[in-house]
Chains A and B, each alone.
Chain A
Amino acid sequence: MRNSSLFILYISCGVILLSLMLVHASFSENAQQANLEEKAALVKILKLTDLCLFTEARYTRHLSQADLNTAFQDHPLSLEHFPSGSFTQPLERISEHR
């Protein structure tokens, strides 16, 4: 088989796989609808405010409920030291609440 045929075959497979990926994403989205609804209902019933992504500190567990002095939470000179702090940002418009 010619090198160009192999390359065209590879690119075609890539395009097909990417299309299948989009189809899979679309089907999974529909399939996961019940699961999403369950989580949304739990949030509504229990009046939850945050996702349980980072449990290492109280201000990363409940990002939206964190104190206004987060990052200096434990001590005036205690800078943010939890790894998850590097993924998150302070609550938007936090300065307005000060």
Chain B
Amino acid sequence: MINWIEKQRYIIDFTISSLLRRKVKNFGLLALYTLIVFMLASTMFFTYSIKKEAALILKGAPEIVVQKIVAGQHDLLPVSYIDTIKKIRGVAAVESRLWGYYYDSLVSANYTLLTPFTDDDSTDNTQSSAKKTVVESGSGNQQLDDTSKPLFELGDAVLEPGTLIIGNGIARLRNIGKGDYMPFRAFDGNVMNFNIAGTLSSQSELVSSDLMLITEEGFRKLFGIDKNYVTDVTVAVSNPSEVEMAASKIRKRLSEARPIARDEILRTYDSIFNWRGGMMIVIFSAAVLAFVIFAWDKASGLSAGEKREIGILKAVGWETSDVIQMKFWEGAKVSLTAFFTGVILAYVHVFFTGSIVFEPALKGWSNLYPNFKLTPFVNLEQLTTLFFLTVVPYTVATIIPIWRAATIDPDSAMRFTGE
């Protein structure tokens, strides 16, 4: 065993010297290979973590959201629909939502204005004997039920008429905070000034960066929405297994309604950054093409110098198996070095620098972008997949042409000149 180890070490010594003889070519190859692993690993870490985080956060999303569709577009929903939905068997509670967008031309950013649900809304909209229950699926119910702890960065922020609670992204973009005033141009052209009562926590930017919490009165005044209309409604169902049934009943009773189940919301985020999507396929095809070039370079044969080297080695007593082992170590060294460096750099990139390389693409044309730190959901399975995607193909591609070259006669290999 010791002899075998010592033999392998001599082969490794020899291959490193051999690699260093062609420094420029091999270091170039290593840098490109590392870059490919880095890109693939960064994409994998980022997409997996964001999907997992979305699944955990959005567990508390409404069971069903019902929109009204007119001419294929989302329209305001009449309050009278609420009673119709409440009469459906299995529906536990129906609550209205008032939300919309406001474009701030000063900073060219879109804000999401939302009226938080209050107990008053509950009595208005769910005045029947229907019990208000929100049924959660999965195991995170206890965590989500813990609503007693303060959610806002400023615990004393109270939403009153004429005030706003803003997301941290807006505060950062506009450089404003508690006590400042923010002007809005209302639907009728009048300017409305709102006092900022507080800022939402910076920890929650992934869901609240562009949010503005506003009172119902303020929202209706700003957008000129009549009291008989709401943006959409949320529906809670008594039995979680009946969500699909309730959604289909809503669709039957209200032909203009479009129910969106929580399951669909979760699946939307599960398929985000899917490898088939635009930019993702560009990244993956670039990586695959680069691998094809590597493999082509290796599989298309050896240079005259490499053939001569093999001929000399065989002439001085190396066996075919030794030559193959030497080339195996050569491939393994390049690919393992690229793998370790690429993966570690990708981890630092995604979880310590906030995916700085992807940022321009993710920001797109938006001026308001959340500052969020992803939770590193990394496991052994991902690392194994990356290993088999990167290290194995290259190492195998190195061995195959060598096997062909190593079996030729040393005399004819050495005679070949003209590198």
In the complex, A30→B62 CA distance in Å? 26
- Find out whether the CB atom of B56 lies under 8 angstroms from the CB atom of A36: yes
In the complex, A4→B13 CA distance in Å? 5
Chain A positions within 8 Å of B377 at CB level: 25, 29
- Find out whether the CB atom of B12 lies under 8 angstroms from the CB atom of A3: yes
> Is B178 in the interface zone, CB < 8 Å from A?
no
Residues 31-50 of A, flagged 1 when their CB comes within 8 A of B and 0 if not, give: 01001111111111111111
Supplied contacts A10-B337, A14-B341, A49-B265, 9 more A-B pairs, CB within 8 Å? A3-B17, A21-B344, A29-B376, A36-B56, A40-B60, A40-B143, A47-B117, A64-B264, A84-B366
User: Using a Cβ–Cβ cut-off of 8 Å, how many residues does chain A contribute to the interface with B?
Assistant: 66
A5 to chain B, nearest CB (A): 8
> Is A53 in the interface zone, CB < 8 Å from B?
yes
> Is B361 in the interface zone, CB < 8 Å from A?
yes
Chain A positions within 8 Å of B114 at CB level: 46, 48
- Find out whether the CB atom of B60 lies under 8 angstroms from the CB atom of A68: no
Question: Which of A25, A46, A49, A61 contacts B116 (CB under 8 A)?
Answer: A46
User: Using a Cβ–Cβ cut-off of 8 Å, how many residues does chain B contribute to the interface with A?
Assistant: 98
In the complex, A15→B344 CA distance in Å? 10
B338 to chain A, nearest CB (A): 11
- Find out whether the CB atom of A56 lies under 8 angstroms from the CB atom of B337: no
Residue of A nearest to B150 (CB): A38
* Contact A39:B57 (CB < 8 A) given known A11-B340, A47-B97: yes
- Find out whether the CB atom of A36 lies under 8 angstroms from the CB atom of B364: no
A27 to chain B, nearest CB (A): 9
Residue of A nearest to B346 (CB): A21
- Find out whether the CB atom of A45 lies under 8 angstroms from the CB atom of B277: no
- Find out whether the CB atom of A43 lies under 8 angstroms from the CB atom of B61: yes
Chief secondary structure at chain A's binding surface = helix
- Find out whether the CB atom of B333 lies under 8 angstroms from the CB atom of A91: no
> Is B125 in the interface zone, CB < 8 Å from A?
no
In the complex, A60→B333 CA distance in Å? 44
- Find out whether the CB atom of A64 lies under 8 angstroms from the CB atom of B260: yes
In the complex, A64→B57 CA distance in Å? 14
Taking CB atoms and an 8 Å cut-off, the chain B residues in 304-351 that contact chain A are 333, 336-337, 339-341, 343-344, 347, 351
- Find out whether the CB atom of B347 lies under 8 angstroms from the CB atom of A46: no
- Find out whether the CB atom of A28 lies under 8 angstroms from the CB atom of B207: no
> Is B238 in the interface zone, CB < 8 Å from A?
no
Taking CB atoms and an 8 Å cut-off, the chain A residues in 13-27 that contact chain B are 13-15, 17-18, 21-22, 24-25
- Find out whether the CB atom of A46 lies under 8 angstroms from the CB atom of B213: yes
- Find out whether the CB atom of A45 lies under 8 angstroms from the CB atom of B116: yes
- Find out whether the CB atom of A45 lies under 8 angstroms from the CB atom of B272: no
- Find out whether the CB atom of B364 lies under 8 angstroms from the CB atom of A82: yes
